[in-house]
Amino acid sequence: MRAIIAMAQAPDITDPLSGIARGPGLIERAREVFSICSRAADAAYAYEALKAMSGEELAKRGLKRADLPRAAYDKLAGRS
């Protein structure tokens, strides 16, 4: 009996737009994708800006050259 109930609740796979275009979360998912892309671009820009700095300039910011990937990741993760 449970198998019949499960099949009755399964999505309609014959409809290519089932659960994609009509889902209430489509706008939210699109916003999240754009947000991730924006944060990634910001992190890449920050990394390139830090990479161009001299060792002295990095030291003034409390960074070493080895810290640059972590600083870029923190920017991507929204920690800085």
User: Torsion angle, CA of 5/7/9/14, rounded to 10 degrees?
Assistant: -160
Distance, CA of 74 to CA of 80 (rounded, Å): 6
pLDDT of residue 50: 92
pLDDT of residue 76: 85
Provide the residue-wise pLDDT of the chain in tens; the chain has 80 residues: 455 554 556 655 565 555 555 556 788 888 989 998 999 999 999 999 999 999 999 999 999 999 999 988 888 887 76
Model-level pTM greater than 0.85? no
Domain count, the chain: 1
Domain of residue 12 covers 2-76
